[in-house]
């Protein structure tokens, strides 16, 4: 039983090491992080209900998971094909496209969920000025 728990702890340590690597090496992750923090702040400000939070968290997680997978794909492609190769380029480009699709979907989710309450809140603020 002890080895089971030690291996679980090691698994978390490896995962956090990978997370740290992505944050240290991928500039786009910082952009995603900044936008996610802004979305969470706006969500708190407009008072999103729990179901909307669930969708926002899932969309945000999808973007980060895509970015992490893209980083893994790039590392494996670089290892397998250190020289330029058309198939290596396709692998990297498709990985980047997956992140783009996730980010565009998250933007749409954000607009659909945050748009109406944010617009209403802003109208209230500016109508009192």
Is the separation of the CB atoms in 96 and 70 below 8 Å? Answer: yes
Backbone phi, then psi, for 115, in 5-degree steps? Answer: -55, -60
User: Quick one: pLDDT at residue 97?
Assistant: 98
Residues 6+ apart with CB under 8 A from 114: 39, 42, 43, 46, 48, 56
User: Quick one: pLDDT at residue 13?
Assistant: 95
Is the separation of the CB atoms in 88 and 81 below 8 Å? Answer: yes
pLDDT tens, residue by residue, 63-115: 999 999 999 999 999 999 999 999 999 999 999 999 999 999 999 999 999 99
User: Quick one: pLDDT at residue 39?
Assistant: 97
State pTM to two decimals: 0.89
> Looking at the predicted structure, is the pLDDT value of residue 1 above 90?
no
Q: Which CATH class is domain 27-127?
A: mainly alpha
Opening angle at CA 111, ends 110 and 112, nearest 5: 95
Catalytic option among 67, 70, 71, 95 = 67
pLDDT tens, residue by residue, 7-57: 999 999 999 999 999 999 999 999 999 999 999 999 999 999 999 999 999
Opening angle at CA 41, ends 126 and 110, nearest 5: 85
DSSP tag of 128: T
User: Quick one: pLDDT at residue 41?
Assistant: 97
User: Quick one: pLDDT at residue 28?
Assistant: 94
- Is 67 catalytic? The answer is yes
* Length in residues, the chain: 129
> Looking at the predicted structure, is the pLDDT value of residue 129 above 90?
no
């Amino acid at each position: 039983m002890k080895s089971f728990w030690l291996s679980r702890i090691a698994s978390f340590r490896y995962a956090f090491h990978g997370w740290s690597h992505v944050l240290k090496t991928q500039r786009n992750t910082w952009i995603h992080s900044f936008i996610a923090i802004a979305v969470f702040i706006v969500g708190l400000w407009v008072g999103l209900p729990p179901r909307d939070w669930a969708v926002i968290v899932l969309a945000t997680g999808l973007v980060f998971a895509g970015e992490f997978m893209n980083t893994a794909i790039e590392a494996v492609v670089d290892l397998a094909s250190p020289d330029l190769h058309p198939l290596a380029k396709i692998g990297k480009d498709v990985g980047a496209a997956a992140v783009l699709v996730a980010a565009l979907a998250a933007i749409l989710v954000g607009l659909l969920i945050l748009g109406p309450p944010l617009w209403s809140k802003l109208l209230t603020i500016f109508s009192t000025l």
